[in-house]
Amino acid sequence: MHSFGYRANALLTFAVTILALMCAIASVSDNLNSPSPSSEIQILNINWFQKQPHGNDEVSLTMNITADLQSLFTWNTKQVFLFVAAEYATPKNALNQVSLWDAIIPAKEYAKFNLHTSNKYRFIDQGHNLRGKEFNLTLHWHVMPKTGKMFADKIVMSGYRLPEEYR
């Protein structure tokens, strides 16, 4: 009844139960945080805009991204994955989401920033529908917790338009 094995087993079971409970509580406590992030993106320049040899439109652009995501961070936040996607509809596709830029924010002190960047990933359409196309720029974020449930949300910024002619 009181052998070493039984005691070790009971201790291990208890420790694992408490650890699991603490993980669960940490994850649940994330729900108490109601973040209010803000962001603004300006397109400074269309660097070039062309039709690839096999017929898909490709754009290169320079953006200015301003964001304040400090309120996303809680004690259970490991990092925040951030990306900007261009979203638009074409006759062929009901929705196109193309990532232009992404970053990992490792800690709260880096969560307020302003930067200039050209697109990190290629902005290519499936087809040649980009001339004069209106599109949204969406700032998405995925909060990666130390443990538990992952959170994601976005800010949609509309009213961007590509030029009518290739350049």
Partner 1 sequence: MGWVGESVASVKSMKIRQSLSQFISLGMIVSSALIIWKGLIFITGSESPVVVVLSESMEPGFQRGDILFLHMSKDPIRAGEIVVFNIQGRDIPIVHRVIEVHERQKTREVDILTKGTETTIVKMTECCMLMASVGLKRQHVIGRAVGFLPYVGWMTIVMTEKPIVKYILIGALGLLVITSKD
Q: Is 82 exposed, middle or buried (0-12, 13-18, 19+ CB in 10 A)?
A: buried
**How far is residue 144's CA from residue 123's CA, in Å, rounded to a whole number?**
26
Residues 45-84 that bind partner 1 (CB under 8 A): 78-79, 81, 83
Residue 165, phi then psi, degrees to nearest 5: -120, 155
Task: Identify whether the C-beta of residue 91 lies closer than 8 Å to the C-beta of residue 129.
Answer: yes
By CB under 8 A, tell whether 128 contacts partner 1: no
Q: How far is the CB of 131 from partner 1 (least distance, A)?
A: 18
By CB under 8 A, tell whether 91 contacts partner 1: yes
By CB under 8 A, tell whether 85 contacts partner 1: yes
x/- letters, 139..158, toward partner 1 (CB under 8 A)? -x-x-xxxxxxx-x------
136 has which bridge partners?
Answer: 87
Residue closer to partner 1 by CB (options 31, 167) is: 31
Instruction: Reduce the DSSP state of residue 156 to 3 states and report it.
Output: strand
Q: How far is the CB of 39 from partner 1 (least distance, A)?
A: 15
By CB under 8 A, tell whether 99 contacts partner 1: yes
By CB under 8 A, tell whether 108 contacts partner 1: no
